[in-house]
Amino acid sequence: MRFLSRRGMFCRSCGLATYREMSAKTLWQGWWSPLSVAITPLTLLMNLGPRGRFRKLAAPAGGFGPSLDPGKSLLRRPEALLFLVPMALVALAIPTLFVLGLFVQGARAGQEAGIGQAPTLAIGDCVRNAGDWKDQDLEVVDCGSADAEYKVTRRLDAPKDECADGELLADLEYSPDKMTVSCLAPAR
């Protein structure tokens, strides 16, 4: 990081040309260190003071030589694009992240409300499997219903516990703690 300044007697055109040149260089060279991220905007703001004084001066007349051409305004220079394009992307990213956050929060609220979640099976519940056993899609149904295919008989809480012969295992997602397996016996 370095700080540059130019001192001297400036006419309006030379002062504006110097301001625009140095500010343009600051826009593309001033962001390359962690501390510069805070100092560069301050430097650009401090440059506005001399700019205002230069603009109040009268147009150059006479003098020892020709005055400098102020050139394009600061924001119309290529160096400014190196600053404005990333800043525009940041400005667009903030609302985009906000909207994505709202969608994620809405999805979480839907999960907390039980939308898209697997039901928790209790011992004695009757279920039907709308999927296959590899990709279970169990839903709790009334035990007297024709849809009842299996009945939850017990949970395997200890490592040595086993389901009875002919019983199937429900996926862990259907247990209350997501860690115990429920045994399913055919309901008929």
Strand pairing category for 168-169 and 138-141: unpaired
Provide CB contacts within 8 A for 150, sequence distance 6+. 126, 127, 128, 129, 168, 184, 185, 186, 187
The pLDDT tens digits of the residues spanning 36-92 come to 878 888 988 999 999 999 999 888 887 777 888 888 988 888 888 777 777 788 789
pLDDT digits (tens, 9 = 90+) for 145-154: 999 999 999 9
CA distances from 40 to 73, 85, 106, 124, 156 (A): 19, 16, 39, 69, 64
Q: Between 130 and 1, whose confidence is greater?
A: 130
pTM of the entire structure?
A: 0.46
